[in-house]
Amino acid sequence: MAIKIPALGSIYMESCRRHDVAPRTEFLSALFKADVKKSRHELCVLEILLDHVKDVDFHPLLEVTTRIGDSEIEAVDVLNESSCALNGEYALVLIRSIDQKLRIVDLQDLSFGKDFLRDVSQRGLQCQVLNLRSSHFRKLNLVGEFLRLHTLNLDYSTMLSSFREDCFSSMPNLMCLSMCETRISNLWTTIAALSKLPSLVELRFQNWICCNDVGSSGSSGGDDQTGPSQPSNASHLEMPPISLNLLIDLDVMTEQAIRNLLPFSMNQNFQNANEDSSDDSEVDFSIHLENDQLDSSHSAPPGWNREINLPSETTSAALSNQNGEESSEGAISGHVADVSFKYISEHAPPICFEQHYREFMIASIPQLRVLDNLPIRNIDREIANLTFFEHFERLPYRRSDKENVVSILQKREIRAIPSSFRTQKQMPMDPVGKSQHSYARSLCAAKMGSSAWPYMHSLSISGNDLGDENGSFRPRQFEYHPTNSSLMVFGTLDGEVVVVNHEKQKIVSYIPSFGTMNSVLGLCWLKHFPSRLIAGSDNGSLKLYDIQHFPSTSNGLRTASSVTFDEFDQLTSVHVNSTDELFLASGYSKNVALYDINSGRRLQVFTDMHQEHINVVKFSNRSPSIFATSSFDQDIKMWDLRQKPIRPCYTATSSKGNVMVCFSPDDHYLLASAVDNEVKQLLAADGSLHLDFQIPATGRSQNYTRSYYLNGKDYIISGSCDEHVVRVCCAQTGRRLRDISLEGKASGSSMFVQSLRGDPFRPFNMSILAAYTRPSSKSEIVKVNLLASSECNKESSSGGSSFPFNSMGG
């Protein structure tokens, strides 16, 4: 027989007496309220308020909570509205002792500490609604079992920036998720995490508040105007799981049909929105619609804070694309029929400012019904799918479906078997067949499709290898070796040149700085003499090093022999031609110097080639006399040494100052990068525009952008010094394949992309030179493998430290 609620009160009082603890009047009051609900045949809910609960109160409360499963109480809500003195471990024991009758958990994690959050994340909870607003997660890793959870609120978790790979893996029934006022920014990892939620139908990263022309809210009732401006208690989340059928049939339901399907507690909101307004101080996932806001053709989904009655033919896509315009302040305005309206976004994290954010989310989560308080219609989904196809790639090389790596390898092996030896089952499925090149691309697509979190680790090279216990390098420039896949050279802010085996993370050769301190900004390997390289510093120093001819040093490392060239003041760039006979130097001037490598002489200085300084100069990969210059005068110019470059072959103009230019590996294209993400691909033959990658600008005049080719000329990678993201785009279509986000080790640490290069030997591998914004922090070279999962970070023993992450030059 079920334990009566008054009996629970007696158990509590007796336990308080035995433990010599004064009974808490709040708990006794909560028991009384639950008994009153039982007598009225309402849902018998016990609210346990943890505010002001102390450790001495633990044991009496535990004796009651362990018996709730055998009592008349039907559901328990555990709330924490302010600071709490209760030990976090005690709080978890109390919450877990309630077990299957646990309904709502609304906690302030600051009250219980990091161990509390870690335990909840790893072990899970049995509640239906979990409210962890203002939590202090950095990387969300909810991997424990949350099998009954249908609503999760993480609003105002201002430190939350990303998800770990296994996050949300045990939440099969989660339907509603809110993450307003967080730092979430990466579309790809976010979608990969959310894809583990098969029941997700409502998602919110921001609130669209609809106002009329005079600036007042369009809501006729006026009962729910607070929005999420300030955190409230958990009562607004008191709702049973939303029926999926309800969400599916919303477009054709009448008001009466909705009322018939709604559970009792939600139906009450339709009948009397003002009955208990104190419990609804934040618009979240509960329904508050006035009768005059409902019509048979446009019923609002649960969770949409609908402010005005828009005509049924108006969609969220139409608001932004047809009838209105979006401003930089995050507002959308427009005019529908005789109604003027304005939507204002509140509490939006960085992800909401990503180009085509809404379309990306809708196209990537097919079951989603509501996004950011706005409903998703069929027309919205159609537009989203078209927009996604136009601007994004799900998988590289236009692969549309994820394939299994084993299956691809099997197909390749079967095709390699001579036809006379094949069994009937081994005959190829396609009559034409695939080339080995095609199989390699399919393997890339399959591997990349398996995880949105690439394998990233910092290149762990320090002065300890030189016997300097306190030494650490400060990289400023780096280059992969053109013919040896294991070698890389980097120059430092202190004038050192270091050749490393980046696969084994060992120093191969070390060239110390001589004379005054300087930064190495220009590096270039010779192609036909693989042990030689040119290094140039900002003090004008230019040297040719040969790491093969060296005297032995006491520590066994190689010290390179060198040839010194005439200085080029304020140097920023050097580059060697395809025959290793000549190299060019440019810098903070309008001039370019030509040097003869064999003789060590400066042959000529070409003056006034641009109106502003020439940041980067590049020879073509195949023509020894053709080179291109990029300048902050907004021009890219092509030159031919055979014509004694007095005038360029042609000039291509950007809208902003050019940071750099480079040739595609086959010399068919030029990749030009101007300030603030203006990245364009030009035809090398005449400089005409081939492709504008349309990377969104930040509006910052010193956001210097650098871009290079990846996988030959198939893709490009682009990063900027005021942003922590590297973008991977298709070089043929311009569509975005992936964004790679850099995150620092320390809380709140910011970093930026200083330089980057694609690995010339490994598909979808690259290295990024990244640095913290703090001057005292060192920069690091971060290796990225898009074909391997971040799980490799946990398994690899040679990956160095987990990646964290000043100023011109390439």
Give the pLDDT confidence of 355-397 residue by residue, as tens digits: 999 999 999 999 999 999 999 999 999 999 999 999 999 999 8
Helix axes 88-98, 58-65, angle to 10 degrees: 20
Beta-strand pair 176-178/151-153: parallel
Structure confidence by residue, pLDDT tens digits, 593-606: 999 999 999 999 99
Give pLDDT, residue 113: 76
CA–CA separation, 5 and 44 (whole Å):
10
C-beta neighbour count of 132 within 10 angstroms: 24
Structure confidence by residue, pLDDT tens digits, 741-771: 987 765 556 778 999 999 999 999 999 999 8
Structure confidence by residue, pLDDT tens digits, 687-745: 999 999 999 999 999 999 999 999 999 999 999 999 999 999 999 999 999 999 987 76
CA–CA separation, 744 and 125 (whole Å):
30
Confidence of residue 446 (pLDDT cuts 50, 70, 90): confident
Between residues 469 and 382, which one has the greater pLDDT?
382
Lowest mean pLDDT among 80-89, 448-457, 499-508, 613-622: 80-89
CA–CA separation, 566 and 575 (whole Å):
15
Residue with tokens 């493998």: 785
What totals of helices (H) and strands (E) does the chain contain, helices first? 15, 43
Give pLDDT, residue 377: 95
Give pLDDT, residue 793: 54
The DSSP string of 340-387 is: EEEEEEES--GGGGSTTHHHHHHHH-TT--EETTEE--HHHHHHHHHH
CA–CA separation, 576 and 621 (whole Å):
9
Residue 34: helix, strand or coil by DSSP?
A: helix
Between residues 334 and 381, which one has the greater pLDDT?
381
The DSSP string of 106-126 is: E--GGGT-HHHHHHHHHHB--
CA–CA separation, 482 and 64 (whole Å):
72
Give pLDDT, residue 229: 42
Lowest mean pLDDT among 180-194, 466-480, 632-646: 466-480
Closest CA to 693 of 355, 255, 325: 355
CA–CA separation, 507 and 490 (whole Å):
11
CA–CA separation, 608 and 621 (whole Å):
25
Residue 75: helix, strand or coil by DSSP?
A: strand
Taking CA atoms, 171 is separated from 156, 179, 196, in Å, by 21, 16, 8
Give pLDDT, residue 313: 37
pLDDT at 101 over 90: yes
CA angle centred on 26, ends 272 and 47, rounded to 5°: 50
Helix axes 405-416, 436-449, angle to 10 degrees: 170
Contact of 167 with 191, CB cutoff 8 Å: no
Task: Please state whether 148 falls in left (phi above 0), alpha (psi between -120 and 50) or beta.
Answer: alpha
Most confident of 76-90, 120-134, 212-226, 377-391: 377-391
CA–CA separation, 689 and 741 (whole Å):
29
Please state, for a pLDDT cut of 70, what percent of the chain lies above it: 73
The DSSP string of 705-766 is: EEEEEETTTTEEEEEETT-SEEEEEETTT--EEEEEE---SSTT--EEEEEEEE-SSSTTEE
Residue 264: helix, strand or coil by DSSP?
A: helix
Helix axes 25-39, 5-18, angle to 10 degrees: 170
- Phi and psi at residue 17, to the nearest 5°: -65, -45
Helix axes 58-65, 5-18, angle to 10 degrees: 150
Closest CA to 504 of 765, 801, 802, 798: 798
Give pLDDT, residue 644: 83
Buried b (16+ CB within 10 A) or exposed e, 155-191: bbbeebbbbbbebbbbbebbbbbbbbbbbbbbbbbbb
Lowest mean pLDDT among 153-167, 254-268, 548-562, 671-685: 254-268
Lowest mean pLDDT among 51-60, 305-314, 523-532, 705-714: 305-314
CA–CA separation, 521 and 804 (whole Å):
22
292-296: long-range pairs with CB below 8 Å, 24+: 292/220, 293/220, 294/255, 294/258, 295/255, 296/252, 296/253, 296/254, 296/255
pLDDT at 51 over 50: yes
Between residues 317 and 412, which one has the greater pLDDT?
412
Give the mean model confidence (pLDDT) for residues 644-673.
96
From the CA atom positions of the chain, what is the Rg in Å? 32
Residues whose CB is less than 8 angstroms from the CB of residue 40 and which lie 6 or more positions away in sequence, other chains included: none
Give pLDDT, residue 83: 73
Between residues 231 and 439, which one has the greater pLDDT?
439
Average pLDDT, the chain: 80
With 0-12 / 13-18 / 19 or more C-beta atoms within 10 angstroms meaning exposed / middle / buried, residue 129 is: buried
Lowest mean pLDDT among 552-556, 668-672, 702-706: 552-556
Confidence of residue 558 (pLDDT cuts 50, 70, 90): low
CA–CA separation, 730 and 450 (whole Å):
19
CA–CA separation, 782 and 20 (whole Å):
60
pLDDT at 58 over 70: yes
Confidence of residue 151 (pLDDT cuts 50, 70, 90): very high
Which segments within 256-352 are labelled E, that is strand?
A: 324-326, 331-336, 339-346
Give pLDDT, residue 435: 61
Closest CA to 128 of 100, 158, 170, 109: 100
Type of residue found at 162: S
pLDDT at 624 over 90: yes
Lowest mean pLDDT among 33-47, 313-327, 473-487, 692-706: 313-327
pLDDT at 802 over 50: no
Structure tokens at 134: 């203002």
Task: Please state whether 424 falls in left (phi above 0), alpha (psi between -120 and 50) or beta.
Answer: alpha
Contact of 362 with 349, CB cutoff 8 Å: no
CA–CA separation, 299 and 198 (whole Å):
24
Give pLDDT, residue 1: 81
Lowest mean pLDDT among 37-51, 269-283, 317-331, 519-533: 269-283
Confidence of residue 194 (pLDDT cuts 50, 70, 90): very high
Beta bridge partners of 775: none
Between residues 221 and 19, which one has the greater pLDDT?
19
Give pLDDT, residue 518: 87
Lowest mean pLDDT among 112-116, 659-663, 794-798: 794-798
Please state, for a pLDDT cut of 90, what percent of the chain lies above it: 60
The DSSP string of 439-472 is: HHHHHHHHHHHT-SSEEEEE----GGGGT-TT--
Structure confidence by residue, pLDDT tens digits, 155-167: 999 989 999 888 9
